[in-house]
Structure 1
Amino acid sequence: MNVTIRYAAGSDIGCSRENNEDSGYAGARLIAVADGMGGYAGGEVASSTVIGSLRSLDADAQPDDLVESLGRAVAEANEKLRIVREERPDLSRMGTTLTAMLWSGTRVALAHIGDSRGYLLREGELFQITQDHTMDQLLNAEAGEGQVPDPAEASRLSHVLYRVLDGREDREPDLRLREARLGDRYLLCSDGLSGPVDAQTIYEVLSAEAEPSWAIQRLIQLARDGGGPDNITAVIADVVEADHAPDPGAPVTVGAAAQA
């Protein structure tokens, strides 16, 4: 079956930030979210640099080379961050998360580093398809090996990242190939959404709103209603039949990358 994706993207500064350090992208073959960090300006530069670098992937890709292509592109984006850091010492603390999907028909490569998230709504069930690279998750892994983490310590470390893209060596994302199905709905989002809005509410919105753009608007508003403590960015891709899909239009870039 010939399939394609119907997509939308949105970003909001939130209720507590003075600038938007998130970046997002949605196109016919690539969707991505990056959540920058590193102080004023640093996060904006990091996320927009990575998204700007990855945008070249939004073209025809060979199905047998999806994971390799995406992995190389992430490495190249990280190298660009290294160059920026060398040219601008004031940005030495910058870094960014990245969650990205590269499509070719029903085959899709997923790259993930940091604590932005990927979700899949399939046949009435919501799945988180990424694992947060936070210190509390490491503690939970240790708990599975018989070491019980202290709850207060786990809470303190819940936003401390141990893997990000920051221009340094050995910044390897999780990479894998997935098989999409007709009717799948994918959501990529920064923790400005997944923090204030719980998984049950995300499920309800993704299930209720037929149009990707409407779902994004509702999710962003819910995050703001929940305090909006961080920037909020979301990208949605629906897997639909290509023969009956409307023209998706031009790719969409949001957040800091849209201003770069």
Structure 2
Amino acid sequence: MSVLVVIPARYASTRYPGKPLAQLRGAGGVSRSLIERSWLAACAVNGVDRVVVATDDDRIKSAAEVFGAEVVMTSADCANGTERCAEAHAALGGAFDIVVNLQGDAPLTPHWFVESLVEGLRSAPEAGIATPVLRCDGATLNSLLADRAAGRIGGTTAVFAADHRALYFSKEVIPFTSNAYAEGDRTPVFHHVGVYAYRPDALAAYPSWPTGPLEQLEGLEQLRFVENGRAVLCVEVTSRGRAFWELNNPEDVPKIEAMMAQMGLE
């Protein structure tokens, strides 16, 4: 099955304008843009046939072409990354069996997250979309709770049924737990990793569906699948000792830089 990875990137982010071009300093003081680091993460995934950056902004296009990325220009009317992926896939002929949306704010996404995701979707013909979830340890859960206590919108959490079909995603920390967890403890909370794998028919149908109240309230694009009765498969992945965090706010830059330094990522 052929696999396309699309990295949707827009300049006009409400929380962090110009985020794809934000510089992240890795080990050894090497500075690269967020979009370049996301592209490098995509290129490290095994079994991928093509990687493209999808954007509506000439500044992002120019920056991506400098480091060698293939760029697909998409409409400024795309409401989110999934719509941008649908437009990019259609522009490329719509011939891929699986389309992966590796969002441009997740440069620490390990290649095995995406590989497990693709394999999970291949093995679940009833699902039109799959997305990874990572069980929080105490340190990650405390970071999520600290963001909310400070009024910041940080990572997303997910709850799912016994068959791993998604029940809900939220920017709040769900499910509720009153326990205090130490740094390395396993917790009942799953961090949603912002990567998606779609079957072409589900991806093509997505832009035609209206934005539902849950998607609008949470600002989470994957809820449009849930609200339209499409099965979203949550694929549990493991960190293998590697730190993971997404760049949601400017305050996340030093945290991600520290993680890259710890992992020796230049």
Normalising by structure 1, report the TM-score.
0.31
Structure number with higher strand proportion = 1
TM-score (norm 2): 0.31
